[in-house]
Structure formats: C-alpha cells, structure tokens
Amino acid sequence: MAGKKLRHIEIEALKIDPGEPIVITHLRGTYDRPVVVTCKSTISVNTFGIPAHTASNRIAQLRQENGFYPSVGQVSDQAALTLSNCQFVVLIGLNFDKCWPAALNLDNCQNIAVLDCTFGACTVAIGANGIDTRDIWVEGCTFNQTDKRRLWDKIKWQQVHGSFENSDEKVSVEDDQRQFDGDFFRAWNIAGNVTIRDCDIADAFNGIHFFNSVDDLPDDEDRMAVRFNNGRRSASNVLIENNRFARIRDNCIEPEDHAWNWVVRSNTFDNCYAPYSFELQRAGWFYIYDNHHWLEKPATVGGRKGGSGFKLGGRQNNEGDFYIFNNSWLFEHGERLFRKRALGRMKHFNNAVKLKKGTRRLFGSAWMRQNEYCDDPAEGEDQRFTRRWKDLGISIDGDWIHELGGLDWRDYVKAGYNLGDGTTNKDPGYSRPTKRPRRKNAEMWLEPSAEMQVKGVAWTMRLPGYEEAGKGKGTFQKDYEIAIPEESGVGAGMSDDRLANFRELLRFVPDFPVSRSSLDGGTA
C-alpha cells in the first residue's frame, strides 16, 4: 500500500554485559508494513563465556565419549540475536562480529527478511528452528567464518569434523577447531519457503544446511502414497540463486535426509570441496542449472584435500526427479564429478565438464572395477558411482566431457555407464575462470565456446505436480511436463530470455511482499 510509513526500531549492542544475548519476542508487522530493524553498532556477543574453540572441543569430546558424532550440536539457540515468535520483520544492515557460537537465530518465525547483513566469525551465522518457521528471505549478506584460506590451507578437515568413522584420533580439546563445524544458514525441521540470493559465503566449513527428521517414514510405508501437502512437512520450497561460494571446506548445499522443491541456479562455486551433498532418504523435484563450478587449487592440509562435484548416498527412495542441466565444471588436479554411490532419479543433461591433469575418472577412482566374477552384483557400488542407472531412474545425456588424459566417453559406456548418444568429448572452450561483467563486481565465470551455445540434446522436464495430477480424474499431467528442445545450449551462461522462462516455470517460493525501494525510502 503506497504511502504508508514503515515502522522502524533500532537496537544497539548491549554495553554493560557484552555476554548477554539480545532476544526480541512477538514483534509483529503486517504483510504490507513489516517492522524494519536496524542497529547503530556492531553486535559482538560471546555466549560461551570462555574461548570458543575450547568450549566447542569439550562438547565434541563429550559427545564422542558417549558414542555420538563429535559435533557441537544445535547451537543456534545460543545466538547473539534471537527473534522468537515474530512475523513480518526485516533485519537490514546488521553487522555481527565474533558471535560464538551463533549470530542470528529465528525461532518459530514467519515472513522474516535478512538483508545486507555481515557475519564474521561464528559457528552458525543464521539458524532457523521449528516446523512453524517459514517464509524466510536472506539477500545481499556476507559470511567470512575465518581468515582467507585458513580452513583451506592451515586447519585439517579432521580437526573440525573428524570422528571415529573417518579417523583413529580422539577429539583434542587443546588442538581441534570444532567451533568451525557450522554453516552460513542452518535449518532444523523448518517448513520451508526459503530464498537465499546474492550472498557471498567464503572461507567457511559449510554453506547452506537443512536438517529434516520430521518427515522420516517407517520402512514399510509406501512413500509414493503419501501426498505432498500432508505427508511432507519440512525443508520444502527452497530457492538458492546468484550466490558466490568460495573455499567452502566441506559442503556448500546440503539437505539432510528429506527435501522437496529446490531450485539452485546461477551460483558460482570457487574452489569448494563438494558443492552438493545429497545423502538423502527420500526427496525430489530439484532443479540445478546455470551454475559455474571450478576447483583449481585443492586444500593443502589434512584429509579431504581433493574435491568432487557431488557427495552422494542414502536410501534413494526419491519421489521426484533431480534435474541437473546447463552447468559448467572445471577440475584441475584429479577431482571427479561423481565420486561414488548414487542419486536416484537424477536427470543430467547438457552440462559441460572439463577435467585436467590426470583426472580421468568422472565416476570416481573405482570406475573401472568389475564385478562379473562376484556373487554380489552390488559389489563395488559403494566405492564408485553406481552403474544401476535403469533401476534408479538415472539418465545422463548431452554432456560435453573433456578429459586431457584422452579418455573417450565411450570407454565409460564399455565399463557399464550408459551415457546417452548425445555425449561428446569436445572441449567446452574454457581453460580457467574468466571475468564476465554481467554480474555485480564482475564475478568470475566459465565462458562457454560459441558452439556450445547452439548445441544440446532435447529432453523433458516435469514439475512437482506431475505425479499428483496423474491421480486425478482429468488428464492434467501434460500441464506439468515441459519439453526442452535440442540446440538449447550446453553448460552455464544461459541467455536472459531462457533464465526468465525457467524462473517463471519454477516459482515455488513466494516473493517478499515489500520492495527494496520501499525499505530504503521508509514507505510501502
């Protein structure tokens, strides 16, 4: 409603007791007049009260001694600033510095926008809790968990996230760095409707991390019989776009166990260990496109120094497809796109992959392992990307896979990987990340060759309502099926028209009700 004055409140870091967190409860705006929260000074609150790494290591040590994974646990409820039971609130321009263990916590909140905020050292920058928490917009924020390259080149991966499963060492209270075992955005069992866009997330252990335990089903229950609106309650409708991830030591985007209706588009992944971690029990309707990924300088210390495109696993009872199309990848030093295991119902079309310097293992180091002389046909499946494509509904076609070692894509076919006939070994045309002025601050992009822009196989994309429409009396399924024509391009760098078209098709998350201009001007 034009002309209405927005309500502003200003908070200030507490001066008397810097260890006292700030809690705002039951702050309520309206759809057209949200409450705008600003702050004069830096918020700096240490809620542990003792050195952060010592406290975190002690928590992890105790968990390990009691047979649990040695993490620091759900720490966002110890945040410097907590919004509890709030609606239609905008946090804008806040500066969080040294907020151990967490900076911002959203507890049972709806319609919250976090805009242009800066997050320094902490375990979790933004935490969100509760099945009634939904409609969250995070835009234009930055997160630098520690100094540049410290997690990448100076701290061992095991010191942050190691356990008996991947190390013989116990947690060391003196030497470990468990305080970094966190995320830019961490959600526990929230309903969804989350947008994270135009953010810069660098030198952190993880990026965006959703936990979902409320949608777990008994093994004997038919997953396909559970309807979306009453059987899938959490981690749904998530949009991640136009973000930069740099030197993320573990995983950039990680939905745990269950998730539905995710769109990941037009992001850049600059030297990250594993952009996508999909260890899922049941999930579906993921659309990952127009993303640029490169790994030129792997981490230099500790375990997991290399990298891969996808970390996979889980039970693979996926209810919807995973569409991965028109993305670009560059690997320099023996990395792999699919390291091992599987992603059920994955549809991988028209991506560009360039593997340099001795990689030659698109599907993991054990890709050539044979099992014809073994009693168990699944032997080797845990150590390589699966060959059970038909059983799991996996298809890969139209990719440009260029390996400087000279491996032909047909060699993968001979080994049991049923790549489509539209696959090619052509060079995508880029050798390293290049500057492209299309985005703010001239972000680095992998520039595709001219030929790639007019190539590509035809394929069909289905929207989330496709299977639901098939249960009705009408023939509505055709309205949820999109035919992608051939020669629509290979690799990332879509035209503005194509991006706009997909943006209209994949509108799972509502827009924020109040414009940026009205927030700046103070009226709506």
Question: Tell me: the pLDDT tens digits for 182-236?
Answer: 999 999 999 999 999 999 999 999 999 999 998 887 777 776 666 555 578 899 9
CB atoms under 10 Å from CB of 479, counted, come to 12
191-223 burial: b if 16+ Cβ within 10 Å, else e: bbbbbbbbbbbbbbbbbbbbbbebbeeeeeeeb
Q: Mind listing the pLDDT tens digit for each residue in 125-165?
A: 999 999 999 999 999 999 999 999 999 999 999 999 988 87
23-66 pLDDT tens trace: 999 999 998 889 998 887 788 887 777 778 899 999 999 999 99
459: exposed, middle or buried (C-beta count within 10 Å: 0-12, 13-18, 19+)? buried
Poorest-pLDDT segment among 34-48, 249-263, 418-432 = 34-48
Confidence of residue 367 (pLDDT cuts 50, 70, 90): confident
Rounded to an integer, what distance in angstroms lies between the CA atom of residue 224 and that of residue 226? 6
Backbone angles phi, psi at 50, to 5 degrees: -135, 170
**In which band, very low, low, confident or very high, does the pLDDT at 280 lie, cut at 50, 70 and 90?**
very high
**Model confidence at 369: pLDDT above 50:** yes
Smallest CA-to-CA distance from 140 within 431, 445, 441 is with: 441
Cα distances (angstroms) measured from residue 32 to each of 2, 4, 10: 9, 9, 20
Structure tokens, 393: 């509904």
Asked if residue 380 has pLDDT above 80, the reply is no
* Whole-number Å distance between alpha carbons of 18 and 22: 10
The pTM score is 0.93
Where residue 462 falls among pLDDT bands split at 50, 70, 90? very high
Judged against a pLDDT cut of 80, whether residue 357 lies above it is answered with no
pLDDT in tens, 284-320: 999 999 999 999 888 888 878 888 999 999 888 898 9
Mean pLDDT along residues 422-449: 71
Fill in the amino acid letter for 201.
I
**Per-residue pLDDT at 408:** 86
Higher pLDDT, 45 or 258: 258
User: What is residue 439's predicted lDDT score, i.e. its pLDDT?
Assistant: 46
Query: Between residues 424 and 477, which one has the greater pLDDT?
Result: 424
Residue percentage of the chain with pLDDT more than 90: 59
Residues in the chain: 524
Which region among 91-95, 238-242, 354-358, 502-506 has the lowest average model confidence (pLDDT)?
A: 354-358
Residue type, position 250, single letter: D
